[in-house]
Amino acid sequence: MSLKNSKITVIKIGSSLLIDHKKRVRKKWLTSFAEDVKNLRKLNQKIVIVSSGAIAMGCKKMNILKKNLKLDKSQAMASIGQIELMNLFSEIFSKFKINISQILLTLEDTEQRRRSINARRTFENLFNLNYIPVVNENDTIATSEIKYGDNDRLASRVAQIINADNLVLFSDVDGLYTDNPKKNNKAKLIKEIKDIEQDLTGVNIKGINEYGSGGMKTKIEAAKICQLSGSNMIIANGLKNHPIQHILNGDNYTLFVSKLSKLDARKKWILSSISPKGSVIIDDGANKALGNGKSLLAAGIKKVVGKFNKGDHIKVLNKKDKEIARGLASFSSDEIKKILGKHSNEIEKILGYVSKSEVIHKDDMVEII
């Protein structure tokens, strides 16, 4: 799906786009970017921005050199810089009447299934409230062991979680070249990549890894994640004002074409990720509803088999014990036993706390034919 026709778009911007080499905030650039985002929203797109810059903003405020910062000091700078960063976004985006929010993620938030489901729900709720989430790695608490370390891969995981159509990674060059274009004027831009292994044969990624805030190696790794999750990915030059508009106008960029449709990727993820931890047996009414693409509600469940936690992979069986679907449970087995057969408006009273109304949301379920 082209960027113009995208329904959900993730855009990653690096700290070098927000702050120049003289430590000056590039407000003119950010203003042009915000206007681009406003224009995408006119196309009814849902937008997520993955932004670096918290540590750089913290260092700028404290007049400390970012280079050679130890982990504990960089965490403190991130804590100071997060406020500065969000204040900057709020100041610029409010001029275009765009509401923004902040989401801080760690590696575990995207790798652990239950936490990634919760994160996706947060994104969906923010979209419904007409807010644009600004995402960054939670550098204030992330240690080297549980850290992405670059926002290219973080952005690809976000794209995967929210089922995005496109991820745009901005670099300081027009895309991926056959060699480092800053050292070799004969280097050619690779405009489209369908098979990473085949299309990049002979391209020395390490040799061109010097440019771009995250380096080209991390961008290739991000592209692999996107291709397997049903998202296209674009590497484009972000140094120009109105960088999104340049892409829409057909300027040079590199497009990584997804190998799978989003539906196929989602099905593959649910069906093959892990072995089911348990199952629920449903009545004929629920069976019919699932066949019509509906979510599974507690009212249609007759029995719970096995012990599982919220977010675990479970089977859905009909009255004859035939498996008809698989999905990710929004409740634990103990919780479902308490609410099975009950209407959704009774769940809060029974459990004593606010929860989801669907036992398995339709987006987290795959029907088995």
Domains identified in the chain, total number? 2
Cβ-contact 58, 86 below 8 angstroms: no
Same domain, 254 and 342: no
**Residue range(s) defining the domain that contains residue 279:** 274-367
pLDDT at 107: 75
pTM of the model: 0.74
Instruction: Check whether 136 has a pLDDT greater than 80.
Output: yes
Same domain, 183 and 296: no
- Taken in order 282, 287, 289, 292, the sign of the CA dihedral is positive
Domain assignment present for 118: yes
Same domain, 221 and 360: no
SS3 271: helix
Same domain, 145 and 224: yes
Same domain, 256 and 281: no
Mean pLDDT for 268-287 is: 81
Q: Return d(Cα 167, Cα 152) in angstroms, integer.
A: 10
Residue type, 191: K
Same domain, 73 and 168: yes
Q: Return d(Cα 65, Cα 79) in angstroms, integer.
A: 16
240-28-26-212 Cα dihedral, nearest 10 degrees: -10
pLDDT-based confidence at residue 268 (cuts at 50, 70, 90):
low
| CATH number of the domain that residue 290 is part of | 2.30.130.10
Same domain, 165 and 295: no
Q: Return d(Cα 193, Cα 186) in angstroms, integer.
A: 20
Mean pLDDT for 94-116 is: 84
SS3 293: coil
**E-state strands within 208-361:** 232-237, 254-256, 278-282, 296-297, 301-305, 313-317, 323-328, 358-360
Same domain, 222 and 344: no
> Which residue is it, tokens 């982990």?
71
pLDDT-based confidence at residue 143 (cuts at 50, 70, 90):
low
Mean pLDDT for 175-184 is: 84
